[in-house]
A and B are shown apart, each in its own frame.
Chain A
Amino acid sequence: EADIYQTPRYLVIGTGKKITLECSQTMGHDKMYWYQQDPGMELHLIHYSYGVNSTEKGDLSSESTVSRIRTEHFPLTLESARPSHTSQYLCASSAGTGRGYTFGSGTRLTVV
């Protein structure tokens, strides 16, 4: 049973649209992360948060933005989607140092 939920699972959207990918966890974890993964490629960290009102950019530059208003929610927003944003976006959370990450099932985004 998943404790971290991502919606939608699949999304096909037109260029220029604003989209928000949802990520919610029920484990009370302070730390949450967004990774981007192209097919057959490695995961790249794009955003992370260590708690409410804390967000940082990851190693891969991304035009997306994130917010952390509540512990359980860590949504990712693209103000104007482009075909180059087509990818899979994976959300994860962690209880802290020395603990593993729990990943969601991902959102597969296609911008046409």
Chain B
Amino acid sequence: DAKTTQPPSMDCAEGRAANLPCNHSTISGNEYVYWYRQIHSQGPQYIIHGLKNNETNEMASLIITEDRKSSTLILPHATLRDTAVYYCIVRVSKNQAGTALIFGKGTTLSVSS
């Protein structure tokens, strides 16, 4: 099972910042936090990831608490096209050869005008 907890749904007004929280209290020191989103059952789209520092790219910002037990994805100016299911994922080590992402239920973000 995914080791993250997210609210099942959130609403946001168009043009406002959307702040999506995620708890990952059992995260270990070498595990990254990844954020993906999925629109209309299309293939998930990578948004951003981080280890312990805050990260920003052209899509979003990722704020990770100092103890790394939680994080927040920020969409600075939400648009209607940002309506999607957002997944917060902690990479799970499968074996020495590498890791695999384990998805949870995610947060359904609804952006309205």
Contacts and interface: CB of A to CB of B under 8 A. Distances in A.
Given A90-B44, A100-B46, A106-B41, A43 B97 contact: no
Contacts of B91: 97
A98 B91 CA distance: 9
Interface in A45-100: 45, 48, 50-51, 54, 56, 58-59, 88, 90, 92, 96-98, 100
Contacts of A110: none
A4 B93 CA distance: 24
Nearest to A4: B43
Interface in B78-107: 87, 91, 94-95, 97-106
Interface in B1-56: 2, 32, 34, 36, 41-46, 49
Given A98-B32, A106-B42, A58 B100 contact: yes
A95 B95 CA distance: 16
Interface of B: 2, 32, 34, 36, 41-46, 49, 87, 91, 94-95, 97-106
Interface of A: 31, 33, 35, 37, 39, 42-45, 48, 50-51, 54, 56, 58-59, 88, 90, 92, 96-98, 100-106
